[in-house]
Homo-oligomer: A and B are copies of this chain.
Amino acid sequence: MLTNTFRGRDFIAIADFTREEIDTILDTAFQLKLERARGVQHHLLADKTVFLIFYNRSLRTRNSFECGIMHLGGHANYLDSNSVYTPAAAGAEKAYVTERLEDVSKTLSRFGEAIAIRIYGEAAGWNYGQGNDYVRAFAAAADIPVINMEDDKYHPCQGLADVMTIKEKLGNLEGRKIVMSWAYSPSRKKPVSVPQSMMAACSFYGAQLVFARPEGFELDPEQIAFYRANADRYGGSFEETDDMRAAFEGADVVYPKSWASLRHVAPAVPVADWDEQDKLFDAHKDWICDEAIMKLTNPHSLYMHCLPCDRGFEVTDSVIDGPHSVVFDQAENRLHGQKAVMALTM
Contact = CB atoms under 8 A, between A and B. Distances in A.
Interface of A: 41, 46-47, 49, 51, 54, 57-60, 62-64, 66-67, 70-71, 75, 77, 79-80, 82-85, 90, 93, 95-97, 99-100, 103-104, 106-112, 185-187, 189-190, 307-311, 313, 328, 331-332, 335
Contact of A63 (B51, B66, B335): B51
B75 A49 contact: no
B99 A59 contact: yes
Given A99-B308, A110-B335, 4 more contacts: A57-B82, A57-B97, A63-B107, A90-B311
A83 B110 contact: no
Nearest to A102: B321
A310 B96 CA distance: 7
Contacts of A332: 110-111
Q: How many monomers of this chain does the complex have?
A: 3
Contacts of A328: 106-107, 109-110
A257 to B, nearest CB: 12
A157 to B, nearest CB: 13
Contact of A66 (B77, B96, B190): B77
B83 A331 contact: no
B100 A311 contact: yes
A27 to B, nearest CB: 21
Contacts of A311: 90, 93, 100
A313 B307 CA distance: 45
A307 B77 contact: no
29 contacts: A41-B47, A47-B70, A49-B66, A57-B83, A59-B85, A59-B99, A60-B107, A62-B84, A63-B111, A64-B111, A66-B75, A66-B77, A67-B75, A67-B77, A80-B83, A93-B310, A95-B186, A95-B310, A96-B185, A96-B189, A96-B308, A96-B310, A99-B307, A106-B331, A107-B307, A107-B328, A109-B328, A110-B331, A110-B335
